[in-house]
Structure 1
């Protein structure tokens, strides 16, 4: 009763902008869910509901303004808090009261499916809240009827058409795929399939599927003759009336990168919830980076030029296209020659002007993002050439769109549609290359912070080729421009957002306003049920050879009790060396990453535990997050060493370089907080329910002997501690 009273007080303390009616709705919904499910009320869950409600209460009514600060809330909610219920019960009534749409973005497809198929239906039934839900997916998840028709018609006419992409499925492969395409058409006609790849029961390889789907650049939208039956637009129309749209981080960021409101509602009309939100900055960088593989770009320029030259006689008959179509094949050939010149120069530039990206000798990073003058000059010329080509392709595409829409009697409609798809596909690829050359057409010396620029040597038909890449090193400006400054409201939540007990790392990388609301909600788990141990070891984890040798000796003893265990390594090299060193010391209990798929390893592990046999998983970083092995499925987590990042990422190296250049300490500002966060995530694999118990063992005494170690140690959950001799200071329990 005392907790309930405090919860009422917390909700009541929300600003006056949050009406009593909304507060009552939230309280009643929460009480109804607790009663219907027979759950034990959790104080942390109530704190989270109250914090989100207060924050979203800052969203003004239409025509009003507020001085309360941005409606942005960042909540670290420990494992077991029940954050899905918390953010749903707080945000659904607020979104309705403010007449906003609620977009819930998860980090993975598995979380997305759980939320829409299980969590939301349960909340709707038990809370008494009324709301409608729709699932949002990108165009690539839906079949494109125009492309499907195109392949089937091509079979009937036995005529090859212009390739949408020069590297799409070869004609022979498409012939083999035609029976599958016929099945798809028949299933659509019967109403047995909605065009969603995830709902297709038959076989569909990535290559086969790519040839019958589309992206934003190729889609003609509402002008398409198949729009009435289009699977994507039917799904898109369903979003218009839904109160809650369930999506994923990638699709939300794709929509924002396109300007917002293209696939999802406009940001100004949306309250976003990013679950597993600690991934948001890194995913944003992926969406706003650029790259160009020189050889494949040359190849598609040559192939597209030939295709357009073959079609030039027909296309040139369309008013206004004569000169553009006639000049384009030679323009493409000239760009291809320029790329060849650049590729020859890069082979000389790579070992000198650029710096190695770590242990990978086939990668070079340009220090401070500075582009060498010769490369900048060539990139500037390429940017101009690709820019002019993109403009020409856009004019041709617009003219073809008009012709399709107006039904130009001088041309066959199917032929016009075929040309339009081809030109749109070439333009999309052209604009992708243009983005890279624009990034390299500057010196980079005036950027603050600088972009990371690097090149990779890649195999091309038994020879060497090159790939140029560019990316921001921080997502702060990106997310400020596209998300924080535009959205009606944002909630970011995860079990791991802080590093070293501070939000500084997330603020730096995401650019979230410092006057946003930040809250840490403790896990309800009793960490006294678990022990965090650092065994006495002779080796230092920084000495890879000695540390690996000691692990070979130590691990069989640590895992001798036959309990289910998860052993996490920081490098594949060390994991493989330990596997070879123990030489069957763990018997048939051992399951090693790469021997099977991740899901198969987890399945075999659970099967062995259910059968009463011990099981030990050896895994890398992918097993340190998102793996759920409750109860007896995991009683011991062994972490080989403090999970400092392997220093071969050009983004991390560029960020560290920038911080050091400004007088900072990249190791303390980046490496240590990142390692602390990863160690918390890895330790979090142990306790997955309130009744779990067990042991976390870190085989790295640097956490006791180094100055930074105490900070990392103090950022861990409050486990019982067994700390071996550190060489200085008493063990702490």
Structure 2
């Protein structure tokens, strides 16, 4: 380790390099079976160099390298020796928990063996993932009928009891009770309903306890959603000190989409907040002004819903061309915004009047409900402002099972990154198992608005891809061919169900319809070995798959987009992956369509700028399900002739470690 550090970290001091070397040697004690890899050492060295130089860099670290341990060792060593804070951001809260409970404790044990103890760690999540003690106190204080009924009431009672008994710390992800989102929001901490330090339960608040701990933390484990939201909305947060924080973005290939989601707006025109208004009326009798304001809003709200339904017709989505909203619909929305602004002022008056209540439990519940409605009203106003404004954003209507949604979203994540992310993030690493697409970092760099001089490093896979084959069947047709569905169904019968050599098979579908059609084409008596996504929870499906393989029984997973990444099925659990067609993005995606429209207006080609990089990235992720450990082997079948018949096929293959393509 010592000799590999020096070339990459010429600016690192000897204390840092010595500490890293000691910690790395200690891994053999804390991780039984630990194997030192040259790629992991290179990653540690490059990361340490970036943090010493206070620079941004990108590293693609394929599965098997030990990516998490690599950046944790370099990041913690830099934070400890330079009195800084390591901020590690993951794509999801579940990955955040996995890192905090599995990899980080091992790294801390290695640092302890190297003589560095007492490293303070905080797991930081969004405000709404924390319960509000005031709301739980009000619930327990005899106002349950204003919260929920039936199963929701029972689950809420269990959650509150666990809190009062000290068996639950108030973070949703740790709650051992299944609680639906609607019920959870009854007790969730929200910015609109939170009185902050004025709250009588402030000292018991899980959210503010975390906020206090963040001020002294050496390592912070967070997620992209919370980090981006905080950077864009809280100017003086612990994350906003770019000179104090060292950032690591794990699963960085999600960062562009997360940037878009962070600034997207949505208003459900089929969900007028009648229930909350009625609850406030019960808690604050005599507030006639609120009734009048609500009725005025209700009328124009319904008119907007009717207009949206007319534009939707029989369809499920209506996208507006770039910056073109029908004038009449725009006027309706602006009228709604004006009425909502009046309602917001009325709610402020109601809250001030509510201060006279003597019943503490009722007063607290009333305040939280008023805050909840105020927050909903403000979100509606913000959405309408964005939708009716002049900014270049995607705008569309969508019909859900029980919703009529007004949506708007930026379409260029690079602009948001340049405005909100890179001015703060001075020192950091972006890493993932898959960051290059079509053989280049350039699409990712452009999508994230990274400076042209950003350093990049692509590490080699530690696996022997000579043990794996990429195959396009000879009789394969293009996905646009009318015979494609029948070809896929026939292939699956022979090469999934009939593959005696392969007990664990993963079949990736880009279309739910094709997946169900293929399932229907298989005789009922032969379907028992198939696990169909949608009939199982994802985690339960994977556990059942492993159980069957362990029992010596064949198991085949039919899955959609979510099985394309993050699914770890090593060895016999998966020796054959079948992709039913090339993973082109949905042609009706409103954000992608708007971005394509914008690019065409500038004389650019959206197919090569937008579409192909997304195809290459998803292709690489699905291909990555095959090789998970050094001894793995298998076959990756692609049932789409375009991979070998189109010129872009060879470019797609460059996104993977495969260098040859066979015809089977």
1:709 and 2:663 matched: no
Match of 1:121 among 93, 105, 116: 105
Q: How far does the alpha carbon of each residue in 1:198-233 deviate from its partner, in whole angstroms, 9 at most, with x for none?
A: 444456454443322221221111111011222332
Which residue in 2 is equivalent to 1:728?
none
What's the TM-score once normalised by structure 2's chain length? 0.90
CA distance in 2 between partners of 1:387 and 1:639 (Å)? 51
In structure 2, the residue matched to 1:561 is 500
8 Å CA contact 2:311, 2:318 repeated in 1: no
Q: Which residue of 1 aligns with 2:333?
A: 379
Tell me the CA shift for residue 688 of structure 1: 0.3
**Aligned to 2:561, which of 600, 617, 621?**
621
What residue ranges of structure 2 are gaps of 5+ in the alignment? none
Deviates more, 1:252-261 or 1:519-528: 252-261
Q: What is the aligned partner in structure 1 of residue 380 from structure 2?
A: 433
Could you tell me which residue of structure 2 aligns to residue 87 of structure 1?
A: 71
Cα deviation, 1:637-664, whole Å, max 9, x if unaligned, reads 1111111112222112112222222212
| Structure 2 Cα separation of the partners of residues 661 and 203 of structure 1 | 49
Per the alignment, do residues 173 and 108 of structure 1 end up closer, same or farther by CA in structure 2, a change over 3 Å counting? closer
Q: What aligned pairs does 1:236-247 form with structure 2 within 5 A after superposition?
A: 236-247=211-222
SS at match of 1:523: coil
Does the 8 Å contact 2:626/2:633 carry over to 1?
A: yes
Out of 108, 131, 134, the residue aligned to residue 143 of structure 1 is: 131
Residues 1:540 and 2:453 aligned together: no
- Give the aligned partner of residue 580 of structure 1: 520
8 Å Cα contact 1:305/1:329 also seen in 2: no
Of stretches 519-528 and 38-47 in structure 1, the one that deviates more from structure 2 is 38-47
State whether residues 629 and 685 of structure 1, in contact with CA within 8 Å, keep that contact through their aligned partners in structure 2: yes
Q: 1:451 pairs with 393, 399, 402, which one?
A: 393
- What TM-score do you get using the length of structure 1 for normalisation? 0.82
| Structure 2 residue matching 1:154: 3-state secondary structure | coil
Quote the offset at 1:697 in angstroms. Answer: 1.1
What does residue range 398-437 of structure 1 map to in structure 2 within 5 Å?
413-437=360-384
Closer, same or farther: CA 507–584 of 1 in aligned 2, 3 Å: same
Q: Is the 8 A contact 1:535 1:699 kept in 2?
A: yes
**Structure 2 counterpart of 1:180:** 158
User: 2:6: which partner in 1?
Assistant: 8
Q: For 1:125 and 1:7, locate their aligned partners in 2 and report how far apart those are by CA, in whole Å.
A: 21
After superposition, give the CA deviation of every residue in 1:465-494 in whole Å (9 maximum; x if it has no partner): 732111111222222222211134232211
Residue 318 of structure 2 aligns to a residue in which SS? strand
1:108 is the counterpart of 2:92: yes
* Structure 1 stretch displaced more, 98-107 or 489-498: 98-107
Q: Which runs of 5 or more structure 1 residues have no equivalent in the other structure? A: 60-70, 313-325, 352-359, 725-733
Cα pair 1:575 1:618 within 8 Å, conserved: yes
Q: Is the 8 A contact 1:267 1:483 kept in 2?
A: no
Q: 1:645 to 1:414 in 2, by over 3 A?
A: same
RMSD: 2.9
Distance of 1:700 and 1:657 partners within structure 2:
27
**TM-aligned CA distance change 1:585 to 1:180, over 3 Å:** closer
Partners of 1:548 and 1:468 in 2: CA distance: 35
Task: Say yes or no: does 1:470 pair with 2:408.
Answer: yes
Answer yes or no: is 1:57 the counterpart of 2:52: yes
Larger Rg: 1 or 2?
1
Identify which of 151, 160, 184 aligns with 1:209. Answer: 184
Whether 1:229 and 2:204 are equivalent positions in the alignment is yes
Give aligned pairs, total: 656
Tell me the equivalent position of 2:456: 518
CA 1:32 to 1:154, structure 2 compared with 1: closer, same or farther past 3 Å? closer
Aligned equivalent of 2:80: 96
Distance 1:538 1:384 in 2: 58
- Correspondent of 2:535 among 562, 581, 595: 595
SS across alignment from 1:591: strand
Aligned partner of 1:338 in structure 2 is 300
Residue in structure 2 matched with residue 550 of structure 1 by the alignment = 487
Tell me, what secondary structure is at the counterpart of 1:514?
A: coil
Which deviates the most, 629-638 or 547-556? Answer: 547-556
**8 Å CA contact 1:476, 1:511 repeated in 2:** yes
Task: Say whether 1:284 aligns with 2:259.
Answer: yes
User: Quick check: 1:670 aligned with 2:610?
Assistant: yes
Find the counterpart in structure 2 of residue 368 from structure 1.
Answer: 322
